[in-house]
Amino acid sequence: MNSPLQYDSYLELERLLACQHLASDAHGRPAHDELLFIVTHQAYELWFKVILHELESVIRLFDAERIEGGAVCIAADRLERVTRIQSLLIEQMKVLETMAPPDYLDFREFLFPASGFQSLQYRLIETRLGLKPEQRLLYNQFAYHTRVPVAHQDILKKAEEQPSLYSLVERWLERMPFVASGEFDFVRRFSEAVTNMIGNERETVLADASLDEKRKQVQLEELERTTETFGSLLSSELHEEMLRTGRRRMSHKASISALMIFLYREQPALHARYRILSLLVSIDTLFTTWRYSHSLVVHRMLGRKIGTGGSSGHHYLVSTAENHKVFTDLMEISTFLLPHIALPALPPRLVRDLGFHHSI
């Protein structure tokens, strides 16, 4: 029979709690706050491990030609877990903020050239979500991977070659039925609804006696631009142009499915899909929030000093928050949403196909 499990042996606490070696101690100038600094980073890395575990499992669920409804629901639960961990990671920065800048400076000089920049797990999370290598900012004019150990470069290269969560979700959206179903052609019906809506708004502007000719002209030109914006998504040729010029990333087919999901999310067969898309937007948003809050901590600690990894510090980090997003196209679907009243009604057969097949 197995001997009864003990709390500390199960969690290997002796090893875990022996992993905090202060660089300031080693240099004979013990700095009180360095323990907090080390433990904070270690706690982050443990949570990164769980995030990667969840993301890899979701990627496995999506890496199939056919994804059953149950798998989509499990994936959504795991993505939600990722968002909860991210919220915790943002909150956790507050503990580190209790360290006053001079107390950080007491041990900063011993850290060079170590930096969070070298966190392999952080880079893997970005890559597995779908951040493209060419999208990454240069780091002191060099590609980021040239600044991490060779063994890590190989791991990152392999990760980049595998399908990311972004690419699998894109393929999954491209396969979605319902967009053209029997008589119903979603793009055609939606385009008609947009034309009607803009036509009504044009009439309202023309009939508005409080507007002089110049103001009317400005508003009519604005409506013209709205028509062009909708056209850039609804027309596959214009969408292709957006892809070619790097203004969009997601394929036309996938973007149209995403639009339909966002518009008709209350339909049971679309709801789990909606949950996935909405969680991916949340993950991107929380990642951006973390990047900003980390950049603010860095600003507060260092002002304009460079980082221990040699970057411009705060300035570099703010730029990553703006440029290292993955699911921007999903976020921008909101540009194309209409109020419920303006939406084309779905035909009864399609509503039946999208519904539960039993009465509640």
Q: Report the interface residues with ligand HEM, using CB under 6 A.
A: 40-41, 44, 96, 104, 115-117, 119, 122, 294, 297-298, 301-302, 307-311, 313, 316-317, 320
- The answer to whether 148 touches 118, Cβ cutoff 8 Å, is yes
CB of 156 to ligand HEM, least distance (A): 13
Q: Which is nearer to ligand HEM, 37 or 172 (CB)?
A: 37
Rounded Cα–Cα distance for residues 78 and 72 (Å):
10
| Shortest reach from residue 310's CB to ligand HEM, in Å | 5
Q: What are the residues whose beta carbons fall under 8 Å from the beta carbon of 221, sequence distance 6 or more?
A: none
**In the complex, least distance from residue 52 CB atom to ligand HEM, rounded to whole angstroms:** 13
Of 309 and 344, the one with the shorter C-beta distance to ligand HEM is: 309
**Own/partner pairs for 238-242, CB < 8 Å, 24+ apart?**
none
| Residue 271 burial by Cβ neighbours in a 10 Å radius (0-12, 13-18, 19+) | middle
| CB closer to ligand HEM, 115 vs 289 | 115
Q: Which of helix, strand or coil describes residue 31?
A: coil
Q: Which letter does DSSP use for residue 184 in this model?
A: E
Structure tokens at 291: 């990047």
- In whole angstroms, the minimum distance from the beta carbon of 82 to ligand HEM comes to 16
**Closer residue to ligand HEM (CB): 177 or 303:** 303
Partnered with residue 181 across adjacent β-strands are 184
Q: Alpha-carbon torsion 30, 33, 36, 42, what sign?
A: negative
Between 71 and 302, name the residue whose CB sits nearer to ligand HEM. 302
Smaller CB distance to ligand HEM: residue 120 or 343?
120
For 208, the token pair is 């508005």
Q: Interhelix angle for 69-96 vs 34-62, to 10°?
A: 170
The CB-of-37 to ligand HEM minimum distance in angstroms stands at: 6
CB of 147 to ligand HEM, least distance (A): 9
Handedness of CA 44, 279, 299, 137 (dihedral sign): positive
242 exposed, middle or buried (CB, 10 Å; 0-12, 13-18, 19+)?
middle
CB of 38 to ligand HEM, least distance (A): 10
Our CB check for ligand HEM shows the closer of 49 and 188 to be 49
